Amino acid sequence: MASIKRELAELGLAPRKKWGQHFLVDRNILNRVIQAAELEKEDVVLEVGPGLGEMTLALASRVKKVIAVEIDSKLVEILKKKTTNLPNVEVIKGDILKINFNELLDQEGQQPKVVANLPYQISTPLLFRFIESRDVFSALTLMLQKEVAERMIASPGGKDYGPLSVFTQTVSNLSICFFIKPSAFFPPPKVESAVIRVVWKEKPVVGLEGKEWFRSVVRGCMSYRRKRLMNALKHSDLPLPPDFEQRMEKIGIDPQRRPGTLTIKEFARLAEALMS
């Protein structure tokens, strides 16, 4: 896969900074990503940011169908040429942050798995999109920056624990499969990467009826994580009941605690208690 550098040069292409393009050049890492995805022959896979198609071709030989979404029009044309003789590969030009997943995947008749090398600058907003659309996908296997992966799996009380930790862990079970050195990519990014696998929980910690309020409470508290919980809530823009401190004490949550020490279940209890 080191030939990717040569292929880019022959095509007159260079990695685009605005799209965070870092091409995977280590075949061993590619194989490990595919292994981590736990793919089966009848699977449909949504691939994000296929680049020159190394992962696309490897996936196509293992699953029923690959839907590859690429924003770079030049790479789209290259991918289409490379996959002309592969009827199980569909290449789509589009911005993954704007694509309607339901419309894109409605005809597949099953929940696709996602395999993606996420551009660093869109990894967090895209993760939230995947969470919102979790009914569409069965599992996610993602390459992203190590710090984001560590934030996703962080525990209460740790420096990495925040809204991303809470929201992802509320609806999914997470595991970091392995880490990747910058040298596995061209050009090498400035930070290490990680491959993380996300599988949805059968029953989320918070029900659909209260999820927006729950998220507002988490964000409101975590925006002032250095303050005491009581003061963090006061500084937030949340419409709090006048007796919110008494309500907190009633459910066994000390108003003097720091927001970052609350477990997901405690945040869920807090959100329910603070509803007017």
Same domain flag for 265 and 157: no
Same domain flag for 18 and 89: yes
Looking up residue 229, the CATH number of its domain turns out to be: 1.10.8.100
Same domain flag for 104 and 162: yes
Same domain flag for 216 and 178: no
C-alpha to C-alpha distance for 182 and 94, rounded to whole angstroms: 27
Looking up residue 23, the CATH number of its domain turns out to be: 3.40.50.150
Same domain flag for 251 and 134: no
Domain final residue, candidates 200, 232, 263: 200
Same domain flag for 141 and 72: yes
Query: Would you say 181 and 192 are in contact if contact means Cβ atoms under 8 Å apart?
Result: yes
Q: How high is the pLDDT of residue 5?
A: 78
Domain of residue 167: give its range.
Answer: 3-200
30 phi, psi to nearest 5 deg? -55, -45
Domain final residue, candidates 200, 222, 242: 200
Could you identify the residue written with the tokens 């296997």? 141
Same domain flag for 228 and 192: no
User: Which of 56-71 are b and which e, b meaning 16 or more Cβ less than 10 Å from the residue's Cβ?
Assistant: bbbbbeebbbbbbbbb
Q: Comparing C-alpha atoms, which of 48, 98, 99, 45 is closest to residue 69?
A: 48
Q: How high is the pLDDT of residue 256?
A: 95
Domain final residue, candidates 159, 174, 200: 200
Q: How high is the pLDDT of residue 208?
A: 58
Same domain flag for 217 and 189: no
pLDDT in tens for each of the 276 residues of the chain? 558 878 888 888 777 888 878 888 899 999 999 999 999 999 999 999 998 999 999 999 999 999 999 999 999 999 999 999 999 999 999 999 999 998 888 888 889 999 998 888 899 999 999 998 989 999 999 999 999 999 999 999 999 999 999 999 999 999 999 999 999 998 899 999 999 999 999 888 777 567 889 999 999 999 998 999 999 999 998 999 999 999 999 999 999 999 999 999 999 999 999 986
When divided into structural domains, the chain yields a total of: 2
Same domain flag for 103 and 192: yes
Same domain flag for 77 and 95: yes
Could you tell me the pTM of the whole model?
0.89
Q: Is the dihedral of CA 210, 212, 217, 218 positive or negative?
A: positive
Query: Would you say 197 and 177 are in contact if contact means Cβ atoms under 8 Å apart?
Result: yes
Same domain flag for 188 and 228: no
Same domain flag for 139 and 220: no
Angle at CA 100, nearest 5°, toward 104 and 197? 80
Q: What are the tokens at 59?
A: 């996936």
